[in-house]
């Protein structure tokens, strides 16, 4: 179960869109299954039409006059698991009541809560429409509404038994101990290189000698390279570590992207994945950011509400789901899965909205530059023993020496006596 939250400037327009008819979207007849109008007969107004219903919900907003927010309408669309049986109207009404209570739109026992209604238009889905104006003239502050909605949806899905549980392992522990897991060296999406499976002191010593940092926390013993490590150094250190571990008879799985032997030869071109390549350039720019300001400028390419990469991904997922329904009316479950994925992206956008300012302040604390310099010195000391880095430094030194020699033997341009 997942909730998608958004705000709108007109309650009447939202209700008119929800009450609209679209035969290919497999909508059922719109019906009111719950709500609280605080004296307004929302059940009767729902029979009159969306305009009258919207006016009833907007009554507290009209009393605010100039204090009313630009987008006072609160719309929450909730989907259930398409692989599970649909809920009844009574169950969906209970779900809607729990969601408005969890977010603070309409807490239990609050006589001055916001007005809200719950509408059913599609199978496995309910729409909760409310206004953020309270009956006492106050406003509902939607800070962390998205987080509260997802938390309550998770609890409801658990109570309904809609959460999948992983089956326990059937392999005896004695048999597992006889087959040691290989040491894996892989690159994470954040840019950090992580080594897993190096649980003994010998492997830890070799990894530390290669340049990895050891971390001991509740996850266990891990080794990693920071995200600020340049790409060439990541490859050199990872390849050197794998070489030493294999020489010590360890089974090592090294990601091809970190293998120095394969780094110079691309596996295949990425013309077919141009969009992914563009996002990869954004990731590289994020890793190369030297301060919070640079990181904010690059992160804005992901988070911009209209032109950001997340918004383009969300639009693409929605388009896939809609086009599947256009091509095949019977494939609505597959279309719903893409719709749910689009809702996940929209939830991420809402959770990260306005975070660019916070990103700009990252690393501004006193002492961060000192820590960065110390970490760089440690990495350079470790890289000095790596054969791959030594070869790179030798080649660079030879190039510089040749260039300096050419400058030294260049003939003088001083003018001599004219003949």
pLDDT digits (tens, 9 = 90+) for 122-167: 888 899 999 999 998 899 988 788 888 988 998 888 888 877 554 4
Q: Which is more confidently placed, 401 or 227?
A: 227
At 362, the pLDDT band (50, 70, 90 cuts) reads: confident
Question: What average pLDDT does range 334-350 have in this prediction?
Answer: 86
Question: What are the tokens at 122?
Answer: 């599609």
pLDDT at 343: 85
Do 16 and 73 touch, CB atoms closer than 8 A?
Answer: no
CA distance 372 to 384: 18
pLDDT at 209: 86
CA distance 316 to 21: 24
Q: Is 50 exceeded by the pLDDT of residue 33?
A: yes
Q: Which is more confidently placed, 401 or 348?
A: 348
Place of tokens 């032997």: 261
pLDDT at 99: 94
Question: What are the tokens at 222?
Answer: 């891990």
Check residue 193 and give left, alpha or beta (phi > 0: left; psi -120 to 50: alpha).
Answer: beta
For the chain, the average pLDDT equals 78
Range with lowest mean pLDDT among 108-122, 258-272, 385-399: 385-399
Q: Which is more confidently placed, 197 or 218?
A: 197
Check residue 76 and give left, alpha or beta (phi > 0: left; psi -120 to 50: alpha).
Answer: beta
pLDDT at 41: 86
Question: What are the tokens at 1?
Answer: 């179960």
Q: What share of the chain is helix, strand, coil (3-state, %, to 5)?
A: 55, 15, 30
At 366, the pLDDT band (50, 70, 90 cuts) reads: very low
Question: What average pLDDT does range 16-38 have in this prediction?
Answer: 72
């Amino acid at each position: 179960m997942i909730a998608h939250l958004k705000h709108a400037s007109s309650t009447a327009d939202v209700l008119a869109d929800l009450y609209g008819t679209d035969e290919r979207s497999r909508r059922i007849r719109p019906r009111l299954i719950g709500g609280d109008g605080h004296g307004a007969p929302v059940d009767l107004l729902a029979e009159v039409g969306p305009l009258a219903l919207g006016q009833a919900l907007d009554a507290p907003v009209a009393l605010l006059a100039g204090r009313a927010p630009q987008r006072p309408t609160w719309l929450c669309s909730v989907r259930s698991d398409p692989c599970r049986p649909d809920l009844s109207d009574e169950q969906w009404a209970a779900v809607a009541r729990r969601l408005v209570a969890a977010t603070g739109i309409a807490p239990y026992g609050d006589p001055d809560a916001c007005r809200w209604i719950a509408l059913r238009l599609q199978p496995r889905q309910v729409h909760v429409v409310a206004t953020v104006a309270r009956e006492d003239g106050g406003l509902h502050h939607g800070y962390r509404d998205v987080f509260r909605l997802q938390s309550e949806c998770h609890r409801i899905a658990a109570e309904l038994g809609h959460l999948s549980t992983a089956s326990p392992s059937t392999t005896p522990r004695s048999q597992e101990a006889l087959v040691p897991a290989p040491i894996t060296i892989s690159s994470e999406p954040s840019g950090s290189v992580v080594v897993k499976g190096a649980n003994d002191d010998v492997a830890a010593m070799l990894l530390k000698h290669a340049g990895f940092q050891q971390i001991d926390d509740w996850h266990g013993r891990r080794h990693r390279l920071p995200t600020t490590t340049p790409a060439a150094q990541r490859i050199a250190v990872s390849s050197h570590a794998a070489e030493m571990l294999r020489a010590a008879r360890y089974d090592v799985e090294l990601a091809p992207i970190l293998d120095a032997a394969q780094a110079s030869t691309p596996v295949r071109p990425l013309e077919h994945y141009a969009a992914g390549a563009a996002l990869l350039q954004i990731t590289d720019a994020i890793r190369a950011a030297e301060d919070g300001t640079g990181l904010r400028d690059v992160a804005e390419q992901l988070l911009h509400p209209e032109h950001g990469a997340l918004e383009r991904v969300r639009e693409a997922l929605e388009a896939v789901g809609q086009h599947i329904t256009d091509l095949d009316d019977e494939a609505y479950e597959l279309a719903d899965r893409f719709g749910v994925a689009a809702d996940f992206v929209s939830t991420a956008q809402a959770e990260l909205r306005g975070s660019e300012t916070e990103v700009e302040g990252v690393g501004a604390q006193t002492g961060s530059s000192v820590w960065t310099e110390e970490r760089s010195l440690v990495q350079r000391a470790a890289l000095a023993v790596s054969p791959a880095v030594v070869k790179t430094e030798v080649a660079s030194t030879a190039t510089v020496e040749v260039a300096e020699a050419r400058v030294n033997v260049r003939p003088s341009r001083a003018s001599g006596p004219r003949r």
